Amino acid sequence: MNPLPPLFLSHGSPMTALEPGAAGEFFRRLGPALDAAFGRPRAILAISAHSLTREPVLVAGARHETIHDFGGFPEALYRLRYDAPGAPELATRVQALLAEAGIPVQRHEGGGLDHGVWTPLLHVYPAVDVPVLPLAWPPGWTPAQLFALGRALAPLAAEGVLVLASGSITHNLRRVFAALGAGQVDAPATPESTAFRDWFAERGAAADWPALLAWRSEAPHAGLMHPSDEHLLPFFVAAGAAGEAPVARRVHASLTYGDLGMDAYAFGPQAARLAEALAA
């Protein structure tokens, strides 16, 4: 098996599970592309913007239930299930890697997948046959700390483990709800969203980590695109899992409501191989 590139996916609204749109179509191509280029992952280590804790916690149960951690959506969405197998053995390996790096981690023997994990996986691996290990993380950590957390996980890529971070490249829900109220699902991209997303793509392609780690002060319209940090921070865990100073390659770009970016990134030397497989 070839080493797997860590990924950052913008998961979008839970409705992506029912109304895939451009991002959902990308998710559906992603699983076959990963399998063709690298082989089926033996497990997924999932880092979601919706699993937040005071210090890192591995959700190491043998089985996961689907958590519908949202309200006000159609009943059909609450009937969807993605009860994936867990990965207790992988949790033991991750504990060891983080201990070597001096990073504390707790282990919880229960299970459960929030919508940041199961919404994309419903399309990526619809057979629900790949074990998943969620890693909850502290939203108060800096991008550099989260990059270091990911760096400790870098050996997993060669061990058949897909490090999959889920969040959103832009996430200002007030602007999204304004567009939603106006019925503008397909609204044209706002200049602010375009500038922010393109800055990330350009700095990522250049592997400019001093700028990326300082995104809050360096990126255009950072405060507008992310009033709070938690939906972008998983990006840095996935990036760190690819090595010392990895290229961040945008492998999908789309948006909804003119503002909510659905971009996806692959990190490190295997990112180009994934891009080729997606284009095939």
The mean per-residue pLDDT over the stretch 159-182 comes to: 87
Give the domain range for residue 11: 7-279
Asked whether residue 39 carries a pLDDT value surpassing 70, the answer given is yes
pLDDT tens by residue, 117-136: 999 999 999 999 999 999 99
Asked whether residue 156 carries a pLDDT value surpassing 90, the answer given is yes
Identify the bridge partners of residue 46 per DSSP, sorted by sequence position. 134, 164
Q: Could you tell me what percent of the chain has a pLDDT over 90?
A: 89
Q: If you average pLDDT over every residue of the chain, what do you get?
A: 95
pTM recorded for the entire structure: 0.96
Q: Does 198 map to a domain?
A: yes
Q: Does 2 map to a domain?
A: no
Q: Does 68 map to a domain?
A: yes
Predicted pLDDT at 184: 66
CA angle 144, 231, 104 (to 5 degrees): 45
Query: Are 44 and 161 a contacting pair, CB within 8 Å?
Result: yes
Query: Are 153 and 163 a contacting pair, CB within 8 Å?
Result: yes
Q: What is the Cα 129 distance to its own chain's centre?
A: 19
Asked whether residue 225 carries a pLDDT value surpassing 80, the answer given is yes
Asked whether residue 35 carries a pLDDT value surpassing 90, the answer given is yes
Q: Can you give the length of the chain in residues?
A: 280
Q: Does 60 map to a domain?
A: yes
The mean per-residue pLDDT over the stretch 226-253 comes to: 97
Query: Are 160 and 228 a contacting pair, CB within 8 Å?
Result: no
pLDDT tens by residue, 172-204: 988 877 766 555 667 788 999 999 999 999 999
User: Which residue is associated with the tokens 């076959």?
Assistant: 32
Q: Does 102 map to a domain?
A: yes
Q: Does 1 map to a domain?
A: no
For residue 179, give the CATH number of its domain: 3.40.830.10
Predicted pLDDT at 181: 58
The mean per-residue pLDDT over the stretch 39-53 comes to: 97
Q: Looking at the 3D structure of the chain, how many domains does it have?
A: 1
Structure token digits, residue 26: 């990308």
